[in-house]
Amino acid sequence: MEASELQRLQAYLGALGSEHLTALRAFVMDSSPGFKRIRDEERDEMSEVSTATAVISICHAHGWEAWLDLLSQTDTIDLDQWTAEALQQRLLDPKAWRSRSFWFTPPDEDPEPNPYHVAFTTEAALALRLPTADGHDDRFHEAAVYLKEEVERESKGDGQHPPSEKGAISVQFPPSAHLTQLAIRVLRKIDQALGTAYLTEIEGQCLEWARRRLVTQMALRQAGSRTADPYEIAYSVLIIASFGLATLTPDEKRLVTAAMDDVFKVQRDDGLWPLSHPLFVHLSIGTAYSYEYEMLSQLLQEPELEEHLLGHLPSLTSAAHAVRRDYYNVGGSRTWSSGHIPQQPSPESWATASVYQFVYDLGRLAAEATRRALFAIVGAEYQKRGPSTAPSLLDAPLPGGDDGSLMTTIDRRVIEPLIAGSAAVKHGEELPSDVPVSVILYGPPGTAKTTMATVIAKRVGWPLIKIDPSHVVGQGLDRIQESANAIFGLVARSEAVVVLLDEFDELMRDREEAQSELVSRFLTTAMLPKLATINDARRVFFVVATNHLDYFDAAIKRRGRFDALIPMLAPSVETKLAHWGAAAGALSYLDGTTELSDSGRFMAANLTFGEFGQLIKEIEGELDEDSMGDSARVHDILTRQWKLSAAYQYLLDKANGSEGGLAKALDDIVKMARLPPARHDPATD
Q: In what side-by-side order are the strands of the sheet with 464-467?
A: 464-467, 498-502, 541-546, 438-442, 564-567
- 470-513 residue pLDDT tens: 887 767 666 777 888 889 899 999 999 999 998 776 555 544 55
Give the max Cα distance, the chain: 106
Instruction: Give the residue-averaged pLDDT of 182-204.
Output: 97
Contact 210, 177 (CB under 8 A): yes
pLDDT value at residue 511: 46
pLDDT surpassing 70 at residue 681: no
| Cα distances (Å, whole numbers) of residue 76 to 30, 46, 100, 251, 539 | 8, 17, 31, 59, 37
- 403-460 residue pLDDT tens: 999 999 999 999 999 999 999 999 999 999 999 999 999 999 999 999 999 999 999 9
pLDDT value at residue 517: 55
pLDDT surpassing 50 at residue 514: no
pLDDT surpassing 90 at residue 143: yes
Contact 198, 187 (CB under 8 A): yes
Pairing type for strands 333-335 and 328-330 reads antiparallel
DSSP sequence for 110-126:
PPPB-HHHHHHHHHHHH
Please name which of 180, 302, 295 lies closest in space to residue 241, comparing C-alpha atoms. 302
Q: What are phi and psi of 269, to 5 degrees?
A: -65, -25
Would you tell me the crossing angle of helices 313-322 and 3-17 to the nearest 10 degrees? 40
Q: Poorest-confidence range of 366-370, 474-478, 522-526, 533-537?
A: 522-526
430 contacts: CB under 8 Å, gap ≥ 6: 424, 537, 538, 539
What single-letter DSSP state applies at residue 470?
H
With pLDDT > 70 as the criterion, what percentage of the chain qualifies? 92
pLDDT surpassing 90 at residue 222: yes
pLDDT surpassing 90 at residue 256: yes
pLDDT surpassing 90 at residue 393: no
pLDDT surpassing 80 at residue 315: yes
With pLDDT > 90 as the criterion, what percentage of the chain qualifies? 68
Residue type, 565: L
Enumerate long-range contacts of 105-111, CB under 8 Å, 24 or more apart: none
pLDDT value at residue 43: 65
**Greater confidence, 130 or 245?**
245
Would you tell me the crossing angle of helices 631-643 and 609-622 to the nearest 10 degrees? 140
pLDDT surpassing 90 at residue 372: yes
Contact 236, 213 (CB under 8 A): yes
pLDDT value at residue 159: 64
502 contacts: CB under 8 Å, gap ≥ 6: 450, 466, 467, 468, 544, 545
Neighbours of 241 (CB within 10 A): 19
Please name which of 279, 296, 287, 421 lies closest in space to residue 356, comparing C-alpha atoms. 296
Pairing type for strands 169-171 and 438-442 reads unpaired
pLDDT surpassing 70 at residue 524: no
Please name which of 208, 138, 210 lies closest in space to residue 180, comparing C-alpha atoms. 210
Give strand pairing partners of 113. Answer: 98
Length of the chain equals 685
pLDDT surpassing 50 at residue 376: yes
**Greater confidence, 125 or 507?**
125
**Greater confidence, 177 or 480?**
177
pLDDT value at residue 104: 59
Q: Poorest-confidence range of 5-19, 217-231, 521-535?
A: 521-535
The mean pLDDT of the chain is 89
pLDDT value at residue 110: 80
pLDDT value at residue 128: 94
Q: From CA 685, how far away is CA 682, in angstroms rounded?
A: 5
pLDDT value at residue 593: 80
| Cα distances (Å, whole numbers) of residue 388 to 127, 463, 495 | 29, 11, 19
Please name which of 186, 191, 194 lies closest in space to residue 91, comparing C-alpha atoms. 186
pLDDT surpassing 60 at residue 133: no
26 contacts: CB under 8 Å, gap ≥ 6: 39, 330, 331, 333, 335, 347
**Greater confidence, 557 or 165?**
165
Instruction: Give the residue-averaged pLDDT of 154-161.
Output: 75
pLDDT value at residue 515: 43
pLDDT surpassing 90 at residue 595: no
pLDDT surpassing 50 at residue 336: yes
**Greater confidence, 586 or 480?**
586
Instruction: Give the residue-averaged pLDDT of 664-669.
Output: 95
pLDDT surpassing 90 at residue 543: yes
pLDDT value at residue 625: 80
Contact 484, 524 (CB under 8 A): no
**Greater confidence, 174 or 512?**
174
Residue 529 confidence class, pLDDT cut points 50, 70, 90 = confident
Question: 241 in helix, strand or coil?
Answer: helix
530 contacts: CB under 8 Å, gap ≥ 6: 484, 485, 488, 489, 491, 492
pLDDT value at residue 148: 98
pLDDT value at residue 328: 95
Residue 582 confidence class, pLDDT cut points 50, 70, 90 = low
List the domains of the chain with CATH numbers: 3-373 (1.50.10.20), 378-569 (3.40.50.300), 573-644 (no CATH)
Instruction: Give the residue-averaged pLDDT of 24-43.
Output: 85
Q: From CA 632, how far away is CA 635, in angstroms rounded?
A: 5
